[in-house]
Amino acid sequence: MPKTLKPYLVPRLRIGVVGLGYVGLPLAVSASKAGHLVLGVDIDHAHVSRVNSGDSRIQGVAAVDLLHAIKHGKFQATTNYGDLRDVDCVLICVPTPLTVNKKPDLSYVENAVKNVAKVLKKDTLVILESTVAPGTTRNVVLPILRTESRLDLSDVEVAYSPERVDPGNRNWNISNTPKIVAGLTPTALARASKFYSSFIQNIFECSTVEVAEMAKLLENTYRFVNISFINEFAQICEALGIQVNEVINAAATKPYGFMQFTPSLGVGGHCIPVDPIYLADAALKSKASAKFIDLAIEVNNAQPSYFAKKAQRILGDLRNKKILLVGVAYKSNVSDVRETPAKALRVLLEQMGAIVVWHDELVMKWEGEESVPMNNSFDLAILVTLHDYMSLTDLGTVPLLNTQEIDQ
């Protein structure tokens, strides 16, 4: 069960955070606010320079908090792994994306662990936060640490605690989102739990790292499957002449057994489109069935084609038609374009001969191009992601294809 450990039980620690992106930098700043001395490591020299000047460019990290940590000597960023020699704990928060063949890519984790191992001293706690398949912490991370550091098994303490970051969420943050923690040893578990309790309210301890690894995959695969289902459900409603959002709103009045999901162009971000593939790959390797996941992937991947065909039905021949994509970030009120379904839609429309441009003032630059203004000079606008600042009235009389609401 979740538990709360009093912050005063946790002494000030020297913390290393490897990977200063959407997961690592907010974690580093939160740890520094709790009194820990934090050293962040990232291989991107330009990003490290910006971070050290107080410019994070990471949503959820306030410049005032970052500058305060830097000014008071509680945080510094570097590209040098050697600076981690004297830390008490290292958090690895690097990406776990997919390869071009849509297979799990552990290269970032493996490289980070190898570099950490080279400077690892006895009794330093290593915590992996990156999303991985069950067994990775025990069978990949630990062997690398032992081999590259040349420490004895008893000298290496390893824990796993999957990140839970939802950019743009105004209700849930690092502090009040329960934290799953697991360790390869009871000591690693206890140390990791105490550390996180210094700035996170509720800690949930798992019996094994495999349980924690699998829980992370379950969280996002659950969302992925349900998003894919509601997109297919929306198409059924359209075929029957029923307004899908009205159906969803009616069903959402049920106070139990139902969770509301809404139609969209697809899913994006660093977790939801990626984690189910890690789970499906693990199932394949263990010769277990993953039919639901495979079908959800198929449905999700078909969404851009579905809306490209809808655009063709609206305009007829798309050749030389000027189409505006409204919002290219993967979700509302964030600038993150990782795995955005807008990319696949754009490719399909251009293959059909359309001239495609986009508007998103939160993103500004994407795919080598810049955001264009919303106005009435387009043959069609396709709403992909609606940000709070947007006023669709700026489109004037331009027809609007709304991927978030099937019936117009």
For the chain, what are the domain ranges? Answer: 7-207, 244-402
> Please, which residues have CB within 8 angstroms of residue 134's CB and are 6 or more apart in sequence?
210, 213, 214, 217, 282
Of 143, 135, 107, 141, give the one whose Cα is nearest residue 213: 135
Q: Is 271 a catalytic residue?
A: yes
The residues that bridge with 37 in the sheet, in sequence order, are 14
pLDDT band at 7 (very low <50, low <70, confident <90, very high): very low
Of 276, 245, 282, give the one whose Cα is nearest residue 263: 245
Q: What is the pLDDT of residue 60?
A: 80
Examine the pLDDT at 6 and tell me if it is beyond 50: no
Examine the pLDDT at 146 and tell me if it is beyond 60: yes
Report whether CATH 3.40.50.720 matches the domain 244-402: yes
Q: Looking at residues 176-191, what average pLDDT do you find?
A: 97
Residue 407 and residue 238 in contact, taking contact as beta carbons nearer than 8 Å: yes
Q: What is the pLDDT of residues 85-101, one digit of tens each?
A: 999 999 999 999 999 89
Q: What is the distance in angstroms between the CA of the first residue and the CA of the last residue of the chain?
A: 46
Question: In CATH, which superfamily holds the domain spanning 7-207?
Answer: NAD(P)-binding Rossmann-like Domain (3.40.50.720)
Of 161, 158, 122, 110, give the one whose Cα is nearest residue 138: 158
Q: What is the pLDDT of residues 20-65, one digit of tens each?
A: 999 999 999 999 999 999 999 999 999 999 999 998 888 888 889 9
In the structure encoding, which two tokens stand for residue 129, read together? 């936060």
Q: What is the pLDDT of residue 271?
A: 86
Dihedral over alpha carbons 82, 212, 137, 282 (to 10 degrees)? -130
Can you tell me the distance from the alpha carbon of 335 to that of 385, in angstroms, rounded to the nearest whole number? 11
Question: Do the domains spanning 7-207 and 244-402 agree at the CATH topology level?
Answer: yes
On the CB side of 198, CA atoms within 13 Å amount to 23
Q: What is the pLDDT of residues 231-255, one digit of tens each?
A: 999 999 999 999 999 999 999 999 9
Q: What is the pLDDT of residues 99-124, one digit of tens each?
A: 989 899 999 999 999 999 999 999 99
Report DSSP letters for 129-160, one per residue: -S---TTHIIIIIHHHHHHHH---GGG-EEEE
Report DSSP letters for 335-399, one per residue: ---TT-THHHHHHHHHHTT-EEEEE-TTT-EETTEE-----S--SEEEES---TT--GGGGTT--
Catalytic one of 89, 206, 237, 271: 271
Predicted model pTM: 0.90
The residues that bridge with 357 in the sheet, in sequence order, are 324
Q: Which residue has the tokens 């329960």?
A: 178
More confident residue, 77 or 60: 77
Can you tell me the distance from the alpha carbon of 130 to that of 161, in angstroms, rounded to the nearest whole number? 8
pLDDT band at 323 (very low <50, low <70, confident <90, very high): very high
Q: What is the pLDDT of residue 190?
A: 97
Q: What is the pLDDT of residue 165?
A: 87
Q: What is the pLDDT of residue 5?
A: 47
Q: What is the pLDDT of residue 1?
A: 52
Examine the pLDDT at 151 and tell me if it is beyond 70: yes
In the structure encoding, which two tokens stand for residue 269, read together? 């971000």
Examine the pLDDT at 9 and tell me if it is beyond 80: no
Q: What is the pLDDT of residue 375?
A: 96
Q: What is the pLDDT of residue 204?
A: 98
Q: Looking at residues 256-269, what average pLDDT do you find?
A: 92
Q: What is the pLDDT of residue 10?
A: 57
Phi-psi region of 372 (alpha: psi -120 to 50; beta: other; left: phi over 0): beta
Examine the pLDDT at 406 and tell me if it is beyond 50: no
Is 111 exposed, middle or buried (CB count within 10 Å of its CB: 0-12, 13-18, 19+)?
Answer: middle
Can you tell me the distance from the alpha carbon of 68 to that of 143, in angstroms, rounded to the nearest whole number? 38
More confident residue, 12 or 358: 358
